[in-house]
Amino acid sequence: MSDHGLRDFYYHGGAFNNIDHDQQSYGGETNHMYRVSSSSIDPSYMSFTDCLHSTSMDYGSLEKAFGLSPSSSEVFSSVEGGNRTMMKLHVGADELGGNTGEVTATLNSSVSSSSSEAGCEEDSDKSKKDGQPKGPDDGGESSKKGNKAKMKGEKKQREPRFAFVTKSEVDQLEDGYRWRKYGQKAVKNSPYPRSYYRCTTQKCTVKKRVERSFQDPSTVITTYEGQHNHPLPTTLRGSAAGLFPPSMLTPSPLGRPSFPHELLMQMPNYHHQMNSQAPAGSMFAENFSPFQQYVHQHQVPDYGLLQDMVPSTFLKHEP
């Protein structure tokens, strides 16, 4: 742990007062831990997606702001029935050239914990391996037993990850895409299993994992991995069509969105910026700005926060 600078940034009426950065080094590797908090955001204005998008608090921003590679990054967020309470961004290790970061952002003046079960879980998960033995585009066909030896020289490339902590009764977030469950595993130290889903679209390698939080069973952790290379399916079995107006289900000219938050971005409040997307594969890398600037330019006192936040925070708005 070294750097402990607290910074702030403001954007679109929202303000993140603190960005706490810890840095640790382990045998040549450097881990970054960021915590971002906010205390002056107008709840009626700011939402998680607002933050991600309007404040450029998205993947690319983090990547740039924190010098992290998109691969193996994760973003945790919480969307509480439209009323956001917290979001948490977690950037993982592996392909980052040794960088590991975790960003916890708090909205609506609520608190969050950087050590929630979600974070821990993803942490352990990623810090270990991620051994997807398969090629990047085999769509699950190529194999299993037998083709593992092939990736000898090259290290398995990790897909970008994007995780949401969602308060929901149902495990599966309806995000407009079609998913096929291909596995389920018991989660250590949790009574709830983790389900593995794969996008059913051909040649789309996007996967997602869904698990219910052990400490807060009312929340579901959905982790997306990879990027959709196709538009939203027109034939939605589920209910995305019912949840969103047709216009919102229409993919952008570039075939986005790839993630639920992007879908949300297409809502009226978010449609701006949607035409200046970066090429596929770097969808995150486009907007950014004030965030990074403020991150690097502003210093504010340490408010000392977030450390003691508990997942139960999510529940505070429950009836």
Q: Which residues bind DNA (CB under 7 A)?
A: 121, 124-126, 128-134, 138, 140-145, 148-149, 178-188, 194-198, 200, 207, 209, 237
Least distance in angstroms from the C-beta of 235 to DNA = 9
Q: How far apart are CA 132 and CA 147, in angstroms?
A: 11
Cα 274 to its chain centre, rounded Å, is: 19
Torsion over CA: 95, 100, 104, 105 (sign): negative
Which DSSP helix (H) or strand (E) runs through 23?
A: strand 14-26
Whether the CB-CB separation of 11 and 303 falls below 8 Å is answered with no
In order of 6, 16, 111, 303, the CA distances from 300 in angstroms are 5, 11, 19, 9
Least distance in angstroms from the C-beta of 294 to DNA = 33
Count CA atoms closer than 13 A to 196's CA, side-chain side.
9
Whose Cβ is closer to DNA: residue 142's or residue 312's?
A: 142
Least distance in angstroms from the C-beta of 22 to DNA = 20
Whose Cβ is closer to DNA: residue 28's or residue 82's?
A: 28
Whose Cβ is closer to DNA: residue 35's or residue 228's?
A: 228
| Six token digits for residue 311 | 């997942």
Least distance in angstroms from the C-beta of 140 to DNA = 4
Contacts of 228 (CB under 8 A, 6+ apart): 177, 199, 201, 204, 206, 255, 256, 257, 258
Whose Cβ is closer to DNA: residue 21's or residue 207's?
A: 207
Least distance in angstroms from the C-beta of 279 to DNA = 25
Least distance in angstroms from the C-beta of 132 to DNA = 4
Which DSSP helix (H) or strand (E) runs through 208?
A: strand 207-212
